[in-house]
Amino acid sequence: MIIMSHGLLLKMHGRQLFTTTWKTAQVTALNHHHLPQKQPSVYGSQFVVCTRMFTSDDSKVQRIYDCIITSKRHGLAEGITLVESSHPTKRKQAQELLTAVLANLKARENKNSGKPSSFRIGLTGPPGAGKSTLIESLGKQLTDDGHKVAVLAVDPSSSLSGGSLLGDKTRMQELSRDPNAFIRASPSSGSLGGVARNTNDAVVLCEGAGYDIIIIETMGVGQSEYAVADMVDMLVLVVPPAGGDELQGLKRGIVEMADLILVNKADGELLIPARRMKAEYSSALKLLRKRSKIWIPKVLKVSSKTKDGLPEAWDKMLKYQTAMTDSGDLVRKRQRQQTVWMWNHIRENIMEAFKTNPAVENSVGVIERKVALGILTPGHGADSLLKLFRVGAHKKL
């Protein structure tokens, strides 16, 4: 049977489906089998129907989409590069790609009784806590159990080139060679809290590629806990057993966001300090108001080196996921997160529109110099630029 629909040609031989690009918008069904006129998509061995039609003149978006839903890692990497781009044409292509992948995910969730097809985990903590080593040890355990793991490591950026500084991927060499794992290090590009603006879009693409465990690692600089908490199902705080981070870790603003706290490096000479740190965090959690009626945050000690405590930590994560899914809180949480990131994109786009406004561009240099010389206050300078922006926007209308 040959099916042609909205830019996709499918040839069905028994149970196998092969896709090629085809610019036509009709459906031809042989053997008297008639399918609805919607775009067929392939995901693993499942036949998922998606209603998305691509409007791009070229076949780039269609090709990337086909690669993503057939779990090709090079296509996923290309898709994430596309959504990270700030070029207007590529941003338009990225939105088409994301819309198509979201439609595919929605169809998959409907087949799964509305339950999400992935588990999103955020790992954060102070520098030196061993987050990358912990992710590699946990990731290898999960891939050995048959899971597909995607790691999005958000690095701090260089102020000169904008590139990543830490290179987390180079510290997960064993996991990066695993065929069931995908690691993507993205520079934060100055984003407050160390979460790249398009990390949430990258999560969607990873889920579309069939990765059921999504791990987001941040640099852990305070605000990152709040930023990453708005895109994951579970936030895990990783802390070292010693080294002067006790006061930083025990700050209420950080601990109250965590669903699970892992005291890492609990081996050798650090085993006793790790036990003491676990007791301190357990006591701190008792003083905080409960954020959920169905889950009480736990504190565990683990060792990335000896793998001690990792199975227990994963078991706690699964119990959290089960509790949140069964209560319906997981779906509601994701719905709320989507609106949060919509407003984040609005704020960023407004700032971009402000900077590129012709009236602002013509006057910003002069006003900056006046502010620097003390002729104008920063507030007065900002008000002057905002007035120019409003006048320019009004003239366009």
- Tokens representing residue 262 in the block: 């892992």
Res. 247: pLDDT tops 60: no
Res. 363: pLDDT tops 90: yes
Work out the pLDDT band at 18, boundaries 50, 70, 90. very low
End-to-end CA gap in the chain:
52
Q: Which of 155, 115, 148 is nearest to 132 (CA)?
A: 155
Q: Mean pLDDT throughout 319-334? A: 93
- Tokens representing residue 279 in the block: 């007791």
Work out the pLDDT band at 35, boundaries 50, 70, 90. very low
| Beta-bridge partner residues of 235 | 122
Work out the pLDDT band at 153, boundaries 50, 70, 90. confident
Q: Mean pLDDT throughout 158-174? A: 57
Q: Which of 21-30, 178-187, 212-221, 256-265 has the lowest mean pLDDT?
A: 21-30
Q: Which residues contact 383 (CB under 8 A, 6 or more apart)?
A: none
Task: State the helix-helix crossing angle for 199-208 and 73-84, rounded to 10 degrees.
Answer: 160
The label of the residue with tokens 């995901």 reads: 43
Supply φ then ψ for residue 217, to 5 degrees. -105, 130
Q: Which of 210, 305, 206 is nearest to 265 (CA)?
A: 305
| CA 149 to the chain's CA centroid | 13
Tell me, what's the pLDDT at 249?
47
CA pair distance 120, 330, nearest whole angstrom: 10
Q: Which of 79, 104, 74, 103 is nearest to 90 (CA)?
A: 79
Q: Mean pLDDT throughout 89-107? A: 92
Task: State the helix-helix crossing angle for 88-111 and 60-69, rounded to 10 degrees.
Answer: 30
Q: Are the C-beta atoms of 52 and 103 separated by less than 8 Å?
A: yes
CA pair distance 185, 368, nearest whole angstrom: 35
- Which percentage of the chain shows pLDDT scores above 70? 72
| Beta-bridge partner residues of 123 | 217, 236
Res. 376: pLDDT tops 80: yes
Res. 14: pLDDT tops 70: no
Work out the pLDDT band at 224, boundaries 50, 70, 90. low
CA pair distance 132, 123, nearest whole angstrom: 9
Tell me, what's the pLDDT at 344?
82
CA pair distance 317, 308, nearest whole angstrom: 16
Work out the pLDDT band at 143, boundaries 50, 70, 90. very high
Q: Are the C-beta atoms of 106 and 115 separated by less than 8 Å?
A: no
pTM over 0.85: no
CA pair distance 5, 347, nearest whole angstrom: 38
Tell me, what's the pLDDT at 165?
47
- Tokens representing residue 64 in the block: 């990337």
Tell me, what's the pLDDT at 197?
65
Q: What does pLDDT average to over the chain?
A: 78
Looking at residue 376, the DSSP 8-state letter turns out to be S
Q: Mean pLDDT throughout 324-335? A: 92
